[in-house]
């Protein structure tokens, strides 16, 4: 009889995490991320982050294909030892290896003003500065002198603006500030209600001025603490004992909420925001089972629980209006599902709000996989919402890349739980984001045309595609940075240019827009071109949206670049292909266009035979922009 090795049984998830670290850290990443996803207590996440934050551990994890890396600095005016650990755990759960640096106690000003190595050498891509009210009152001689306090509060946002600008100049990365909570004891020491109100009003005005910094050119990201953390119900302040013994201003739950927000900023900085919300129907978007009670019997709107289901629909609708794709994945009869979506009078979401509606009796994991293929997005861009824990567990097991929302039993918490995940947060909402839903609907129409066309040539000609090319400018800068950050498949080197890097004088950056008879696809490609010592043009990176693969855009852009370089008398155009986890299908891109290989990843074109601009692609403007190379 064959002995089958039994799976080890561990005392706790943390014990298993320690064992996996010892045995095979790199090979256990999937299971480690699964364990981390199961932690919600800040003490567990702190311990897990500490366990995985060693220098050797980070190096091992950073080498795992598919994981991204980010350098993060944490500064503040109180004890924040747990924040780097929390960030390590939260980000690894989502596929990001964090390397963190923590400044000393209350050293937030000194680190920037002295250009210390913590920032100048480390070069964090994201720097968090978390202040408590002591940072504001430190320079006030008499806390009961309300005119002096008001004057100080009126100046403080301006001081933070200067500090954030200096930090950004020093690091080249993003700066994250927060509004500052006013501690109850600080307010309680003022005993008359008129003065209490006066102090609270001045404090609110200061926080409003801090929030306004986010709207300035190159301003910091600013987290509105009271509003963003109210969803989690976190008490901001540490216990009195921990305040005195350990110098902690904030509670563990509050610091976890801050870490979750910063993790969302980091993911947005890396272009990892989700794109698609997959929604169940029965007992999720509405109360009841439509196959049992019919459309008229569903609970939507009105009193609880119908009000809770309507709240979830309203949240999904607002996400959609900002570019998040919505799909339905329901075990249901298709006719019943569509009838409810079309005809229930309280329904906020209608069939045309969804990019795909899948209502059948197949396993949901299979349906979600098919939806991703239909929409042409990765599974890691999808978020799944379902009231049933068995369905959630099945999707999580078979499609680990899909983010599965841990929905509560009570529908009253559905919308708040989805919102608290920060799945779709962006650093900046571009016009392309707003138009994404319309763009994907147009893509569905293109797919229908392709299915009806007798040949690819007929299909491409029938699209009547129009290409416009433009140099970097203030209007397209945000979308160009987003393309470099988010594009994974047609991304020839994997290099992610930041907003600061694309304006470097040694780079020329260009973008392309595509439209056709079905609609405008928006800004769909970006190129960064430098110069070699021999005068050759060097394509530092070329990225393009997956929506426009195989439509000739890439050939047209390279053709125009080569023509311009030849006309200007440059010796060559060179480019690199660096293989990543997702761009392998484009390994022959340069060689297919007449570039000769030079070494493992370099290619060079010396203009012997130039590729043609595809005849079915009309260049409506910007054909000459590459003449400035």
First-to-final CA distance of the chain: 73
| Section 395-414 average pLDDT | 94
pTM: 0.76
Listed residues 223, 238, 269: the one ending a domain: 269
**Does position 442 have pLDDT exceeding 50, yes or no?**
yes
pLDDT for 623 equals 86
Q: Tokens representing 471?
A: 């140099």
pLDDT for 234 equals 65
Contact between 510 and 529 under an 8 Å Cβ cutoff? The reply is yes
Query: Are 306 and 389 found together in one domain?
Result: yes
pLDDT for 444 equals 67
**Does position 208 have pLDDT exceeding 70, yes or no?**
yes
Question: How many Cβ atoms are within 10 Å of 2's Cβ, its own excluded?
Answer: 3
Query: Are 165 and 75 found together in one domain?
Result: yes
**Does position 150 have pLDDT exceeding 60, yes or no?**
yes
Query: Are 604 and 463 found together in one domain?
Result: yes
Listed residues 269, 289, 320: the one ending a domain: 269
pLDDT band at 248 (very low <50, low <70, confident <90, very high): confident
519 versus 36: which is more confidently predicted? 36
Query: Are 594 and 556 found together in one domain?
Result: yes
91 versus 5: which is more confidently predicted? 91
**Does position 5 have pLDDT exceeding 60, yes or no?**
no
Q: Please check whether residue 39 lies inside any domain of the structure.
A: no
Contact between 541 and 497 under an 8 Å Cβ cutoff? The reply is yes
Q: Tokens representing 129?
A: 């500065």
Q: Tokens representing 102?
A: 């923590």
CATH number of the domain that 534 lies in?
3.40.630.30
pLDDT for 2 equals 47
Query: Are 331 and 394 found together in one domain?
Result: yes
Condensed to tens digits (0 to 9), the pLDDT of residues 87-99 reads 999 999 999 999 9
| Section 602-608 average pLDDT | 94
Condensed to tens digits (0 to 9), the pLDDT of residues 253-298 reads 999 999 999 999 999 988 889 999 999 999 999 999 999 899 999 9
CA distance 516 to 356: 22
| 418: Cα within 13 Å, side-chain hemisphere | 29
| Section 383-387 average pLDDT | 97
Q: Please check whether residue 13 lies inside any domain of the structure.
A: no
CA distance 540 to 507: 9
How far lies 457's CA from each of 303, 453, 467, 519, 589, in Å?
56, 9, 17, 20, 20
| Section 492-505 average pLDDT | 89
| Section 89-113 average pLDDT | 94
Q: Please check whether residue 8 lies inside any domain of the structure.
A: no
CA distance 481 to 418: 27
**Does position 445 have pLDDT exceeding 90, yes or no?**
no
Query: Are 72 and 217 found together in one domain?
Result: yes
| Average model confidence (pLDDT) across the chain | 90
Query: Are 380 and 257 found together in one domain?
Result: no
pLDDT for 1 equals 43
CA distance 46 to 36: 11
DSSP symbol at 254: H
Listed residues 269, 289, 305: the one ending a domain: 269
Query: Are 73 and 167 found together in one domain?
Result: yes
pLDDT for 454 equals 58
**Long-range CB contacts (within 8 A, 24+) of 234-243:** 236/181, 237/181, 237/183, 237/184
What share of the chain in percent tops pLDDT 70?
A: 96
Condensed to tens digits (0 to 9), the pLDDT of residues 547-563 reads 787 788 999 999 999 99
**Does position 451 have pLDDT exceeding 70, yes or no?**
no
Range among 146-160, 232-246, 365-379, 590-604 with highest mean pLDDT value: 146-160
Query: Are 329 and 356 found together in one domain?
Result: yes
Query: Are 239 and 284 found together in one domain?
Result: no
Q: Please check whether residue 6 lies inside any domain of the structure.
A: no
pLDDT band at 585 (very low <50, low <70, confident <90, very high): confident
Q: Please check whether residue 5 lies inside any domain of the structure.
A: no
pLDDT for 534 equals 93
Query: Are 339 and 479 found together in one domain?
Result: no
CATH number of the domain that 379 lies in?
3.40.50.1000
pLDDT for 551 equals 85
245 versus 31: which is more confidently predicted? 31
**Does position 443 have pLDDT exceeding 80, yes or no?**
no
How far lies 131's CA from each of 106, 210, 255, 289, in Å?
9, 12, 12, 49
Q: Range of 528's domain?
A: 455-628
Query: Are 390 and 509 found together in one domain?
Result: no
Q: Please check whether residue 614 lies inside any domain of the structure.
A: yes
Q: Please check whether residue 254 lies inside any domain of the structure.
A: yes
**Does position 609 have pLDDT exceeding 70, yes or no?**
yes
pLDDT for 226 equals 80
**Does position 515 have pLDDT exceeding 50, yes or no?**
yes
pLDDT for 229 equals 67
Q: Please check whether residue 357 lies inside any domain of the structure.
A: yes
CA distance 298 to 284: 11
CATH number of the domain that 119 lies in?
3.40.50.1110
If phi over 0 gives left and psi between -120 and 50 gives alpha, with beta otherwise, what is residue 51? alpha
Structurally, the chain folds into a number of domains equal to 3
């Amino acid at each position: 009889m064959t002995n089958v090795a039994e799976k080890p049984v561990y005392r706790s998830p943390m014990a298993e995490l320690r064992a996996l670290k010892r045995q095979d850290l790199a090979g256990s990443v999937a299971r480690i991320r699964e364990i981390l996803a199961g932690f919600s207590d800040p003490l567990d996440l702190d311990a897990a982050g500490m366990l995985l934050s060693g220098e050797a551990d980070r190096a091992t994890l950073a080498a795992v294909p598919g994981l991204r890396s980010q350098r993060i600095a944490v500064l503040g005016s109180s004890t924040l030892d747990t924040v780097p650990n929390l960030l390590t755990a939260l980000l690894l759960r989502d596929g990001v290896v964090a390397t963190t640096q923590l400044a000393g106690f209350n050293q937030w000003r000194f680190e920037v003003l002295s250009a210390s190595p913590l920032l100048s050498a480390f070069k964090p891509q994201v720097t968090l500065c978390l202040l408590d009210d002591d940072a504001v009152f430190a320079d006030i001689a008499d806390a009961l002198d309300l005119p002096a306090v008001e004057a100080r509060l009126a100046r403080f946002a301006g001081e933070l603006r200067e500090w954030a600008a200096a930090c950004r100049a020093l690091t080249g990365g993003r700066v994250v500030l927060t509004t500052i909570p006013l501690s109850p004891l600080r307010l309680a020491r003022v005993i008359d209600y008129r003065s209490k109100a006066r102090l609270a009003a001045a404090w609110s005005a200061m926080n409003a001025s801090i929030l306004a910094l986010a709207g300035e050119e190159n301003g910091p990201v600013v987290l509105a603490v009271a509003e963003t953390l109210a969803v989690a119900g976190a008490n901001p302040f540490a216990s009195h004992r921990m305040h005195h013994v350990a110098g902690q201003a904030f509670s563990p739950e509050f610091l976890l909420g801050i870490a979750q927000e910063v993790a969302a900023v980091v993911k947005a900085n890396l272009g990892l925001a989700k794109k698609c919300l997959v929604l169940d129907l029965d007992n999720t978007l509405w109360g009841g089972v439509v196959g049992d009670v019919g459309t008229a019997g569903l609970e939507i709107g009105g009193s609880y629980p119908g009000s809770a289901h309507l709240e979830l629909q309203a949240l999904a609708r607002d996400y959609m209006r900002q570019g998040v794709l919505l799909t339905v994945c329901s075990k249901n009869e298709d006719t019943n599902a569509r009838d409810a979506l079309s005809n229930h009078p309280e329904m906020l979401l209608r069939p045309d709000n969804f990019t795909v509606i899948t209502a059948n009796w197949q396993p949901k994991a299979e349906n979600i996989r098919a939806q991703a293929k239909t929409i042409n997005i990765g599974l890691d861009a999808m978020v799944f919402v379902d009231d049933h824990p068995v369905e959630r567990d099945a999707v999580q097991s078979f499609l680990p890349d899909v983010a599965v929302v841990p929905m509560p039993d009570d529908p009253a918490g559905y919308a708040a739980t989805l919102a608290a995940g920060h799945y779709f947060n962006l650093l900046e909402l571009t016009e392309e984001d707003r138009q994404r839903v319309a763009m994907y609907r147009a893509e569905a129409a293109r797919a229908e045309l392709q299915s009806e066309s007798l040949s690819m040539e007929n299909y491409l000609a029938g699209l009547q595609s129009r290409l416009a090319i433009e140099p970097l400018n203030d209007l397209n800068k945000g979308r160009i940075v987003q393309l470099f950050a988010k594009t994974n498949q047609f991304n020839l080197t994997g290099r992610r240019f930041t907003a600061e890097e694309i304006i470097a004088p040694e780079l020329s950056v260009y973008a392309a827009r595509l439209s056709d008879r079905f609609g405008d696809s928006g800004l769909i490609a970006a190129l960064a071109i430098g110069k070699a010592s021999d005068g050759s043009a060097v394509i530092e990176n070329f990225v393009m949206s997956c929506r426009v693969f195989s439509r000739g855009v890439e050939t047209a852009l390279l053709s125009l670049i080569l023509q311009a370089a030849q006309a200007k008398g440059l010796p060559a155009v060179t480019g690199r292909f660096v293989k990543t986890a997702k761009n392998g299908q484009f390994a022959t891109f340069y060689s297919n266009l007449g570039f000769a290989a030079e070494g493992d990843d370099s290619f060079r074109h010396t203009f012997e035979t130039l590729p043609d601009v595809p005849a079915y692609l009309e260049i409506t403007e910007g054909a000459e922009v590459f003449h400035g190379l």
